[in-house]
């Protein structure tokens, strides 16, 4: 499998180079030159296959010969070393719980796969891999946990000051070792902008091997297909489900669309958005206008200029009508988010985090307008990561799982800087000099 830059379809690299570079030299996202079509027997026999078999068969075409089969099996096995239950909430709506991994967030899947691939590649390189990641909350924690103590790597995490939850912040800042946190006086878009500028900085790239672990990186984006397939091993409703995806930078939704294009029998997607609804506006009008992000209760979705929008356009050859046929989009307010958490808890005794609540409300509204439809939401994070929001909605905060107890007692270590590239660059170089 080769990958091309979305800014230059004549620039091709293999999986290893796409993973190590993160972004193409011209600033474009990498995209596979073809989407594998899954064998009919593979889809027909999904329910008879193990997680390892499903994950390996999905990822093998994308990895190609850059990682030996034995090592790829091990990478997939470590990536999927927790459960992915499809839990019923109401008669029509289920939740694919993706928060049973080490950092209680769906991003554990992509981050663990990426880190293991990086670790394999790092063993064959003469210098360390420097991983840059911008996060609105859960990405950074998942990446920090996945890369912690991975030989040959150093991780620099940029997160918006005051815009992540206490649990998220500890996951970003308290591990130490090869994990370094920069607290940016701005929003997620400011963090993402600094990362993208670093990748275009030729002087910086001459001196260090720089890569990304955001969903812009193919090794973090593509393995997210696996849990859509795992959901379908548990789906027995007799028709293709509608899937509501909490959407911020749109990597998660893109992975689901790729899985559908490969043959997974998903009926329709809903991009569930909060007040940062540039994609909802695009679906409704055909016009795309990126904006500055605004803070909401579902902070991991606070993105005003989603990077993966470019991949969505490519998937559909920029055909707006085809995009609308496969994807709906519904924007959910903070008031609706809180009321949804409250109503679902009181009616079904199920606790949603604010991101899952946005997805639930979107899917509920869709099913109301499309009688007979059923589907599932992606439960992207454990509600314990958002105690203030959950307490406001239902009157109490979920207990912190024992697995996080030790982490919460650790001391935060982060460098607070303004969203200015010159200061960010000098801070980055200072960190690397002191290693």
Which pLDDT value is given to residue 215?
83
Residue 309 within a domain: yes
Q: What is the pLDDT of residues 101-147, one digit of tens each?
A: 988 999 999 999 999 999 999 888 878 889 998 887 778 888 999 99
| Structure-block tokens of residue 301 | 């979705």
Quote the CA–CA distance of 234 and 85 in Å, as a whole number: 8
Residue 13 within a domain: no
Which positions of the chain have pLDDT values less than 50?
none
Q: What does each C-alpha distance from 70 to 75, 121, 164, 219, 243 come to in angstroms?
A: 9, 15, 38, 18, 33
Write out the residue range of the structural domain in which residue 321 sits. 83-104+221-394
Taking the alpha carbons at both ends of the chain, their separation in whole angstroms is 36
Element (H, E) at 72: helix 69-79
Residue 249 main-chain phi, psi, to 5 deg: -95, -5
Residue 366 within a domain: yes
DSSP annotation string for 181-199: EEEESS-HHHHHHHHHHHH
Q: How many domains does one find in the chain?
A: 1
Which pLDDT value is given to residue 211?
86
Residue 174 within a domain: no
Which pLDDT value is given to residue 296?
95
Residue 47 within a domain: no
Q: Tell me the whole-structure pTM to 2 decimals.
A: 0.90
Residue 139 within a domain: no
Element (H, E) at 407: helix 402-408
Q: Where are the alpha helices (DSSP H) in 95-214?
A: 107-122, 138-147, 166-173, 188-199, 202-207
Residue 281 within a domain: yes
Element (H, E) at 163: none
Which pLDDT value is given to residue 196?
87
Instruction: Specify the CATH number for the domain of residue 98.
Output: 3.40.50.1100
Residue 278 within a domain: yes
Which pLDDT value is given to residue 54?
98
| Structure-block tokens of residue 306 | 């989603």
């Amino acid at each position: 499998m080769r990958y091309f830059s979305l800014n230059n379809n004549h620039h091709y690299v293999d999986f290893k180079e796409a993973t190590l570079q993160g972004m193409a030299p011209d600033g474009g996202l990498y995209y596979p030159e073809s989407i594998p079509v899954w064998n009919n027997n593979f889809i027909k026999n999904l329910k008879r296959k193990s997680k390892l078999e499903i994950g390996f068969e999905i990822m093998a075409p994308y990895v190609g010969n850059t990682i030996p089969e034995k090592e790829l099996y091990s990478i997939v096995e470590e990536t999927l070393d927790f459960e992915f239950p499809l839990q019923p909430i109401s008669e029509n709506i289920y939740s694919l719980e993706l928060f049973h991994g080490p950092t209680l967030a769906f991003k554990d899947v992509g981050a663990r796969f990426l880190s293991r691939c990086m670790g394999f590649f790092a063993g064959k390189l003469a210098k360390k891999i420097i991983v840059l990641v911008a996060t609105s909350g859960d990405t950074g924690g998942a990446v920090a946990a996945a890369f912690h103590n991975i030989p040959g790597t150093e991780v620099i995490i940029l997160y918006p000051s005051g815009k992540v939850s206490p649990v998220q912040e500890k996951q970003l800042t308290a591990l130490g070792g090869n994990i370094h946190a920069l607290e940016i006086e701005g929003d997620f878009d400011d963090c993402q902008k600094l990362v993208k500028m670093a990748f275009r900085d030729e002087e910086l790239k001459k001196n260090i091997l720089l890569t990304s672990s955001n969903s812009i990186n193919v090794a973090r984006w593509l393995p997210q297909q696996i849990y859509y397939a795992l959901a379908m091993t548990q789906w027995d409703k007799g028709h293709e489900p509608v899937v509501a995806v909490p959407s911020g930078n749109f990597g998660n939704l893109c992975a689901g669309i790729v899985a559908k294009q490969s043959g997974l029998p998903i009926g329709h997607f809903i991009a569930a958005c909060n007040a940062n609804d540039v994609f909802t506006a695009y679906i409704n009008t055909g016009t795309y206008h990126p904006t500055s992000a605004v803070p909401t209760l579902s902070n991991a979705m606070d993105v005003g200029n989603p990077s993966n929008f470019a991949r969505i356009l490519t998937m559909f050859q920029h055909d707006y009508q085809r995009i609308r046929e496969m994807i709906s989009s519904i924007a959910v307010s903070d008031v609706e988010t809180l009321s949804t958490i409250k109503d679902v808890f009181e009616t079904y005794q199920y606790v949603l985090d604010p991101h899952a609540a946005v997805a639930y409300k979107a899917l509920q509204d869709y099913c109301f307008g499309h009688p007979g439809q059923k589907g599932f939401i992606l439960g992207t994070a454990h509600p314990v990561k958002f105690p203030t929001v959950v307490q406001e909605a239902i009157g109490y905060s979920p207990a912190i799982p024992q697995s996080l107890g030790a982490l919460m007692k650790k001391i935060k270590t982060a460098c607070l800087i303004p969203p200015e590239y010159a200061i960010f660059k000098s801070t980055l170089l200072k960190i690397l000099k002191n290693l």
